Chain A
Amino acid sequence: GQQLNQSPQSMFIQEGEDVSMNCTSSSIFNTWLWYKQDPGEGPVLLIALYKAGELTSNGRLTAQFGITRKDSFLNISASIPSDVGIYFCAGHYAARQLTFGSGTQLTVLP
């Protein structure tokens, strides 16, 4: 199957700092989605991207669909304690099933 390389694997930041994480693939993806997962819960959809170059915001979150369609990034501005969790990128390749990245564990320090 298609692989999504997500980085960084984990991040420790101070409350109020901005965060950036990204996903890359060797193959072209048709859609990119970003999910957040809290412990013991299912992934919650944050942002969906459908077109190359698309830049979409959801509150303090901003995500972009790379021009090459092989990458995407997620930025979180002015982090707060409730931003703690695992962030997953996911994408659809050739109209097939949603493939997930390996996740970025975000820790926000007070």
Chain B
Amino acid sequence: EPEVTQTPSHQVTQMGQEVILRCVPISNHLYFYWYRQILGQKVEFLVSFYNNEISEKSEIFDDQFSVERPDGSNFTLKIRSTKLEDSAMYFCASSSAGNREKLFFGSGTQLSVL
């Protein structure tokens, strides 16, 4: 069964460093998303991406965050200068054109900012 894959599964970084989280969405999906989950809390929306541009973003997704689809298969989230409060599990998700509402999530990248 097709799935969303994310790498790395864990990332430890120093405060102020840049990190790039990588995702390979399901191959025929056209809508891509990043969500995050701080430990013990609910899943929060960051950004949605369609047709090579951001379609919606939340207040969390400030100027330190950016997304990119550098090729036909990868979808990345970059955090330019990490802060302690960026520590969270980051989930990539994708959905198809025919069923946009049905999001499929990857297993996540656990980001720890020290």
Are A100 and B44 CB-contacts (below 8 A) given A1-B58, A45-B102? yes
Are A100 and B108 CB-contacts (below 8 A) given A43-B91, A45-B102, A48-B101? no
Are A96 and B56 CB-contacts (below 8 A) given A33-B101, A50-B101? yes
Contacts of B33 in A (CB 8 A): 97-98
- Chain A interface residue count, CB cutoff 8 Å, equals 24
A-B pairs with lowest CB-CB distance, top 9: A42-B105, A97-B45, A100-B43, A31-B101, A100-B42, A102-B42, A43-B105, A42-B107, A42-B108
**Which residues of A approach B to under 8 Å, CB–CB?**
1, 30-31, 33, 35, 40-45, 48, 50, 88, 90, 92, 96-103
**Which residues of B approach A to under 8 Å, CB–CB?**
4, 6, 33, 41-45, 48, 56, 58, 91, 93, 101-108, 110
19 of the cross-chain contacts (CB-CB < 8 Å) are: A33-B101, A35-B105, A41-B107, A42-B91, A42-B93, A43-B91, A43-B105, A45-B104, A45-B105, A48-B102, A50-B101, A88-B42, A92-B101, A96-B56, A97-B33, A97-B58, A98-B103, A100-B42, A102-B42
